[in-house]
């Protein structure tokens, strides 16, 4: 179990992180309860399908009516299986709680949605002709991790290790946990989900976008913390 050690004054409860987790879990349960054929159709309809997103034969008005650009966002809340869901939500909690307290809930939501959508767009561009949907919040979580690195470059995280009948509390650099996140994403890229596709460029883009958005928000963050 991971615990974020934070000695600063606690602000409002991190409702944005909790809301994202709740929506992801509810969507997963909804899809899991659907019949297999229906589930495939839902994944294709609300996931980011590169070939559909960049289909120039379809008029732009019809694409807007069909909400095709919106699928860059809706796909963030769709996960292939429990491993896919749990891995993303675990790291969202670890890094998202501190990031939300610093950024503020609305700026944090913007980072998650905008960072994730742009990351999915980059991933779709690398697979422009693919008919398999890109799904999952990995790009958005990567943006959160990137923002965390920019906001807390020397942060340490508390790690609770079970040692026999006792729990040992140790502090480790956040960079080690970020390295574990990268390894986990690499493993999931090669193992692959039950349906859909995992794109490594989505993770890289999300990480870079998170760093950039946090850097651009430094002035607003400083004013918010002063107030």
Find the angle CA(26)-CA(147)-CA(96) to the nearest 5 degrees. 35
pLDDT digits (tens, 9 = 90+) for 151-196: 887 777 665 666 655 666 667 777 787 887 777 766 665 554 434 4
Find the angle CA(184)-CA(136)-CA(182) to the nearest 5 degrees. 20
Q: What token pair was written down for 161?
A: 């290790």
Helix (H, G, I), strand (E, B) or coil at 3: strand
CATH of the domain at 156: 1.20.1540.10
On whether residue 176 sits in a domain, the answer given is yes
62-93 in b/e form (b: 16+ CB < 10 A) is eeeeeebeebbbbbbbbbbeeebbebbbbbbb
| Residue span of the structural domain in which 209 resides | 14-226
pLDDT digits (tens, 9 = 90+) for 60-69: 788 877 788 8
Residues 6 or more apart in contact with residue 97 via CB below 8 angstroms: 4, 14, 17
On whether residue 2 sits in a domain, the answer given is no
Look-up of token digits 């429990």: 82
On whether residue 7 sits in a domain, the answer given is no
The answer to whether the pTM exceeds 0.85 is no
Domain count, the chain: 1
On whether residue 4 sits in a domain, the answer given is no
**5 pLDDT more than 60:** no
The per-residue DSSP string of 161-185 comes to EEETTEEEEEEEEHHHHHHHHHHHH
On whether residue 196 sits in a domain, the answer given is yes
């Amino acid at each position: 179990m991971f615990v974020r050690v934070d000695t600063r004054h606690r602000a409002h409860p991190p409702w944005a992180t909790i809301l994202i987790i709740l929506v992801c879990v509810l969507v997963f349960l909804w899809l899991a309860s659907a019949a297999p054929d229906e589930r495939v159709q839902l994944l294709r309809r609300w996931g980011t399908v590169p070939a559909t997103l960049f289909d120039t034969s379809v008029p732009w008005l019809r694409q807007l009516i069909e909400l095709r650009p919106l699928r860059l966002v809706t796909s963030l809340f769709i996960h292939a299986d429990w491993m896919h869901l749990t891995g993303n939500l675990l790291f969202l909690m670890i890094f998202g709680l501190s990031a939300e307290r610093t950024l503020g809930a609305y700026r944090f939501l913007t980072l998650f949605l905008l960072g994730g959508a742009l990351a999915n767009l980059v991933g779709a561009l690398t697979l422009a002709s693919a008919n398999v949907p890109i799904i999952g919040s990995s790009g958005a979580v990567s943006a959160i991790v990137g923002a965390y690195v920019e906001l807390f470059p020397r942060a340490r995280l508390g790690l609770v290790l079970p040692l026999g009948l006792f729990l040992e509390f140790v502090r480790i650099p956040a960079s080690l946990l970020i390295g574990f996140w990268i390894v986990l994403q690499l493993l999931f890229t090669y193992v692959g989900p039950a349906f859909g596709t995992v794109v490594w460029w989505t993770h890289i883009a999300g990480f870079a976008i998170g760093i950039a958005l946090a850097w651009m928000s430094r002035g607003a963050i400083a004013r918010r913390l002063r107030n």
